[in-house]
Amino acid sequence: MRILLATLALSFALPITACSRDASEAESAAATSVTIEMAGTAHRFDVEVARTDEEQKKGLKFRTSLPPNGGMLFPFERPRIASFWMQDTLIPLDMLFIRADGSIDRIAENTIPGSLEPVASGGEVSAVLEIAGGTAAKLGIDESARVTWKDSK
């Protein structure tokens, strides 16, 4: 009976431990402040930085929410055509495709959670900023905006 109870207790404890580890990993991820300036107005976002291939593959998958000023920045070593999908992403996102000079190439608004349809830049970009779906429209952000951040490699 003791073995059965111990096994049962462990089966409940392991998933809880895994969840705790994932949460602490997210908290320790690299972070930076991103500013989007447009028509004399600046909007600041405190975002996680997905710098490695592994971090970029994981992205914002399995998140159930984002803070209003949160998100994730995906910087690239060299400008390139970027293509993302929403597999295992549970919330709609706005994707801002950012050129090397900080101008916005394209904004994909309210991308569809779980979609396998590619969401691509229109040209070569040096980064992609993902923020909560609907934020760009709510703040009036369009392709005339400029995006800046401090790179802390």
Cβ atoms 50, 58 nearer than 8 A: yes
Write down the residue that tokens 């809880």 correspond to. 16
pLDDT attached to residue 40: 94
Q: What is the pLDDT of residues 20-45, one digit of tens each?
A: 334 334 444 689 999 999 999 999 99
- Give the Cα separation of 26 and 48 in Å (integer): 8
Residue 38 CA to residue 100 CA, distance in Å, equals 17
pLDDT digits (tens, 9 = 90+) for 101-132: 999 999 999 999 999 999 999 999 999 999 99
pLDDT for 14 beyond 90: no
d(Cα 81, Cα 57) in Å, to the nearest integer? 16
125, 99 Cβ separation under 8 angstroms: yes
Residue 45 CA to residue 132 CA, distance in Å, equals: 11
Tell whether pTM > 0.95.
no
Amino acid at 140: G
